[in-house]
Amino acid sequence: MPEGPSILILKELVQQFKHKTVAEATCNNKSLDASLLVDKRIIDFKSWGKHFLICFPKFTVRIHMMMFGTYRINTHTAKPPRLGLRFTDDTELNFYACQLQLITEPLDKAYDWQADIMSDHWSSRKAIKKMKADPDLLVCDALMDQHIFSGVGNIIKNEALFNARIHPESLVSALPPKKLTEMINEAVKYSFQFLEQKQAGTLKKNWKAYHKKECPRNHVPIIRKDTGKSHRTSFYCEVCQKLYK
DNA sequence: GGTCTTGTTCAGGA
DNA sequence: ATCCTGAACAAGAC
């Protein structure tokens, strides 16, 4: 479910609930007092990277799908939802296996919109500035850092690095400026391709490195390795993805 | 049926 | 204090 583009799809699908009033709310753990939502009206849905935000007049409910989160619209599963919302017209919206958090401060204070890679407010310049603050930063960790590239997950990381021909263990500080810009541009570009391909049901078949056996450019084996401080798996071609160090 | 994983936080040890 | 590791959580795909 996660990665930024999937949250944009969710946001699109729930537009039907905008301006509706919650008639009944349940939460199957202690992370949120669901009674706070009853009789409250949803004024908007927003997102920040992988965060999905349900905005009420005086607070926002933050939903993070983590690895396995799911949702059901106007239906439900056998298990009680982490967050279940029923509206006054008997429609329903249910979230499972997700992390909930109540945000009471203004959203502009809680979020740096310029860090959201798929937002209109995205700023490459600011991302570069953040990356330059750490001279030992590897590109694989930089792309996975939600404060720098909010919305990027392991799939986007691997595909963007493949497209930019950059080895995941390259040092950000060793990349020529044009190459760093190229990496960022590929991350943004692939994020929007991810969105289109996911909607078309063609996401997996378009992967060039992620979970692939061989490089589509030269047919040498794709390397699979635990990389960086984040210890997330990278998939890359040793031949066409250059290691900058 | 076992393994893997589109993610993050936190406790505890070095 | 700081860095690092493993645990915890949770569920569908293969």
Domain boundary among A69, A89, A110: A110
Token pair for A108: 């502009």
Are A232 and A121 part of one and the same domain?
yes
A154-163 mean pLDDT: 95
- pLDDT tens by residue, A36-90: 999 999 999 999 999 999 999 999 999 999 989 999 999 998 889 999 999 999 9
Q: Which two tokens stand for residue A146?
A: 């939600």
Give the nucleotide nearest to A155 (CA→C1').
B6
Nucleotides of B under 7 A from a protein CB: 5-8
Give the CA-to-C1' distance from A72 to C8 in angstroms. 25
Task: Assign residue A148 the CATH number of its domain.
Answer: 1.10.8.50
Residues 4-43/A with CB within 7 Å of nucleic chain B are 6
For A16-36, what is the mean pLDDT?
Answer: 93
Q: For A184-205, how does the pLDDT look when each residue is reduced to its tens digit (9 = 90+)?
A: 999 999 999 999 999 888 899 8
Does pLDDT of A2 surpass 90? Answer: no
Same domain for A123 and A103 = no
Distance CA A110, CA A126 (A): 17
Q: Does the C-beta of A124 come within 7 A of strand B? A: no
Question: CA A119 → C1' C9, Å?
Answer: 29
Residue A105 CA to residue A160 CA, distance in Å, equals 34
Please report, rounded to a whole number, the percentage of residues in chain A having pLDDT higher than 70.
100
pTM here?
Answer: 0.95
A126 touches strand B (CB under 7 A): no
Of A46, A45, A43, A22, which Cα lies nearest the Cα of A34? Answer: A22
Q: Which nucleotide is nearest to A229 (CA to C1')?
A: C4
Average pLDDT over residues A122-146: 93
Nucleotide nearest to A68 (CA to C1'): C11
Task: Please determine, for residue A134, whether its predicted confidence score (pLDDT) is greater than 70.
Answer: yes
**Residue A222, CB, strand B, below 7 Å:** no
> Nearest Cα to A173, choosing from A146, A114, A210, A133?
A133
Domain that holds residue A11: 4-110
Asked if A102 CB < 7 A from strand B, the reply is no
Listed in sequence order, the residues at least 6 apart from A217 whose beta carbon sits closer than 8 Å to its beta carbon are A237, A239, A240
Same-domain pairing of A141 and A218: yes
**Which pLDDT score, from 0 to 100, does residue A12 have?**
93
In a domain, A144, yes or no: yes
* Residue A30: predicted pLDDT: 84
| pLDDT reported for residue A18 | 96
Residue A70 lies in a domain: yes
Helix residue ranges, H only, chain A? 4-13, 107-110, 124-132, 139-144, 154-164, 177-200
**Does residue A153 lie within 7 Å of nucleic acid chain B, judged by its CB?**
yes
Say yes or no: Cβ of A135 under 7 A from any atom of strand C.
no
**Is A241 within a domain?**
no
Distance of CA A113 to CAs A63, A87, A110, A126, Å?
17, 30, 9, 11
Residues 6 or more apart in contact with residue A96 via CB below 8 angstroms: A69, A70, A71, A72, A77, A79, A81, A82
